[in-house]
Structure 1
Amino acid sequence: MANVQMHAMRLFRELGYNATTVEQIAEAAEISPSTFFRYFSTKEDVVITDNYDPLLIAAFEDQPSDLSPLQAVRNAMISGMDDMSPDELETMRERNQLIMAVPELRGATLNNLIQTMQLLTEIMAKRVGRKPDDLALRTFAGVVVGVNISVMLYYAENPDKDFSKLIDEAFSKLEDGLLL
């Protein structure tokens, strides 16, 4: 999967997202188009699919129980990024810029973020002893996802910034009551 994504990102840089075909990606990765579709449902999925959710869950579950839910999520997200190699961070930056630049990718990412919101609701419910359909938990998860969206957009416009520091700063503002 990572090999296919690596070739896709290279082709997107060279040819542009819209000009790159699944067939070109498959050929570059030395697989058939049907094999491509075993890994990814659509061309958009090759950009938005990642392994961050399992890492987020593990990092969240490792957070001390005395932290507030917001502190636990914040620490989990930052620790996940701190564990990334420079190449992984660069790939994340490239993917983020592409997602924010291509309307089809923004739409596909929204679906992905809704799934992440549901996942956050479930792991938070377990942590605080509530049911996952609790409106407060869903609202909390929506706020966390909203912070991520705002930072992703800011980062796409300011790629020289440190994504981890931006996430930390955004959550800090939220924790302080987001005074404007």
Structure 2
Amino acid sequence: MAIKKTEKQLKSQQNKATIYTTALRLFSEYGYNTVTVDDICEASHLSKGTFYYYFKAKEDLVILAFFQEMDLYLEQYFNLDDHQPLLDQMISLIQCMFDYACSKGKEWTRQSYIGQIRTQIELMIEDRAMVKILFHLIRRGKQEQAFRLDYQEKEFYTVIIGTFTGLLIKWCTDSEDKYDYAKFVSNQVRLLFR
């Protein structure tokens, strides 16, 4: 039996998608800081009430876009392969995440992290591609006894993401590009392994 969505549910999905795509277009054209919620509502032909029904703040759109697109990027460019050495796979994953951030640029990356801090959105969502891949690699590492520390899976996740986030924040606030961040990423991952 195929359950069909009601017309109201379909309209609701359409409104949310319209706000999202309109906001991303405006951010791309005019810059995140220039665009207001009023601008998004006017361009999408929807009310502020409709906007706030779906999103708490403008920051939610940046966070949502950044991490949904990161997951799509990983699905396209990262090859999860249990026949490859675990260390290589972990470095490849983190490097792929860093490459994605570089492709989006420092300003977009910075705004996504500012938004996360302001809104306190939890991004460890089980069905996210990045989360699934990282937990797969962590479980594999625990089975292979490859890690230096005996953390629980969520603790490893927090250490890895926290380290990566710190490096990414340093990268997106570094106006002179003084460091080889790809090397930093690789070296930080290596520190977790025996």
TM range (shorter): 0.5 to 0.7
SS in 1 for 2:34: helix
CA distance in structure 2 between the partners assigned to 1:120 and 1:137 by the alignment: 13
Task: Identify the residue that residue 94 of structure 1 maps to in structure 2.
Answer: 107
CA distance in structure 1 between the partners assigned to 2:100 and 2:112 by the alignment: 23
CA distance in structure 1 between the partners assigned to 2:134 and 2:100 by the alignment: 24
CA distance in structure 1 between the partners assigned to 2:58 and 2:72 by the alignment: 23
Within-5 A mapping of 1:1-180? 1-8=20-27, 10=30, 12-14=32-34, 20=36, 22-28=37-43, 30-33=44-47, 36=51, 40=55, 42-50=57-65, 51-56=69-74, 59-63=77-81, 65-68=83-86, 70-79=87-96, 82=99, 88-90=103-105, 93-100=106-113, 102=114, 105-108=116-119, 111-112=122-123, 114-115=124-125, 119-120=132-133, 122-124=135-137, 127=140, 135-161=151-177, 166=181, 168-177=182-191
Q: TM-score, normalised by structure 2?
A: 0.58
CA distance in structure 2 between the partners assigned to 1:177 and 1:125 by the alignment: 14
Q: TM-score, normalised by structure 1?
A: 0.61
Size of the aligned set, in residue pairs, is 159
CA distance in structure 2 between the partners assigned to 1:71 and 1:26 by the alignment: 46
Runs (5+) with no aligned partner, structure 1: none
Runs (5+) with no aligned partner, structure 2: 1-19, 144-149
| Alpha-carbon RMSD | 4.0
Specify the structure having the higher radius of gyration (Cα). 2
How high is the sequence identity, in percent, across the aligned residues? 18
Richer in helix (by share): 1
Q: 1:60 Cα deviation (Å)?
A: 4.7
